[in-house]
Amino acid sequence: MTTPVAPVIPYAAKVVRTYLTAALGPSVRVATKVPAERPAKLVMISTAPTSGGTNLVLSSRRLIIQVFHADETVAGELAETVVAHLKSARYVQGNGLRNVTVVGTPARFDDPDDSTPRFQMTVDVLLRAVV
Amino acid sequence: MARSNLKFNKKAWDEIVKHVIDTEGVDRMKRVADAANGHIDSDGYQVSTQGDDPLDKRDYSATVITADAEAMADNAKHNTLVQEFHKAGGN
């Protein structure tokens, strides 16, 4: 494989998963796919397309973040905690997140095939290419 | 200080806003709706425009709505609207 001419943007879901895992602590599982056995508190990160902008070095990526818990209130409060950590991320050095824009604030958005309450938010994260 | 005689033509401004949304915004949302309908058997994703008459500030908009049960279930299951929203951008 040849090296691309344009610098490579880090994988956004991995960057955010690492950041949220450290921020939320061991009682919350942060994952990029639903684990075979779902933990009590689960934060799921998935990607969605967006334009990303024209800057070669700084580029945004869109993420859908879903929060699950059997208790609606716990799930809702965890979702608000997640979005608060994301809004703080630009002030935390070394996490790779240059900025976070909340496109859609947390709201209950259940999976039609799953009775567990699910809250969802959409965020754009600004990342710097790895040289 | 002299008083300004500048008058704001609210009705004409509303017409400009509606024209921009109807000619530019609707086309963009149509691209999103068409892409989203590719995921389901019906045409349940539909473009809608809405706003008061007369318009409140910035309240006239074009949106894609889930107009039937299949589209609602598909969007809740697969986040189709968020996944296809980027098609609204560009030319």
Mutate to test the interface with A, among B79, B81, B87, B91 (most CBs of A within 10 A): B79
Q: What's the pLDDT score for residue A54?
A: 86
Tell me the percentage of chain A whose pLDDT exceeds 70: 100
Yes or no: say if B21 and B60 are a contact pair by the CB < 8 Å rule: yes
How far away is chain A from the Cα of B4, in angstroms, using its nearest Cα? 40
pLDDT tier, B90 (very low <50, low <70, confident <90, very high otherwise) = low
Q: Judge contact between A96 and A36, C-beta under 8 A.
A: no
Distance (Å, rounded) from C-alpha B66 to C-alpha B25? 18
Q: Is pLDDT at B1 greater than 70 in this prediction?
A: no
* Number of A–B residue contacts, CB under 8 Å: 28
Give the length of chain A: 131
CB contact under 8 A, B86 and A50: yes
Contacts of A62 (CB under 8 A, 6+ apart): A47, A48, A49, A50, A103, A122, A123, A124, B82, B86
Instruction: Give helix A12-24 / helix A72-88 axis angle, nearest 10°.
Output: 110
For residue B3, what pLDDT is reported?
A: 77
pLDDT for the residue numbered B60:
86
**B7-19 residue pLDDT tens:** 888 889 888 988 9
SS3 A54: coil
Distance of CA A116 to the CA centre of its chain: 20
B49-79 burial, b if ≥16 CB within 10 A, otherwise e? eebeeebeeeebebebbbbeebbebbbbeeb
pLDDT value at A87 more than 80: yes
Cβ neighbours of A49 in B, within 8 Å: 83, 86
Does B20 contact chain A (CB < 8 Å)? no
- Dihedral sign of CA atoms A51, B45, B65, B79 in order: negative
pLDDT at B89 over 90: no
Quick one: pLDDT at residue A39?
Answer: 96
Question: How far apart are alpha carbons A96 and A10 in whole angstroms?
Answer: 9
Span of A47-51, A53-57, A78-82, B58-62 with lowest mean pLDDT: B58-62
Predicted pLDDT at A8: 93
Q: Does the pLDDT of residue B91 top 60, yes or no?
A: no
A109 → closest Cβ in B76, B85, B90: B76
φ, ψ dihedrals at B57, nearest 5°: -55, 120
ipTM of the complex as predicted: 0.87
Count of CB atoms situated within 10 Å of the CB of B82: 20
Residues of B in contact with A122 (CB under 8 A): 82
Query: pLDDT tens, B25-70?
Result: 999 999 999 999 999 999 999 999 888 777 776 678 899 999 999 9
Residue carrying the six token digits 């189709």: B80
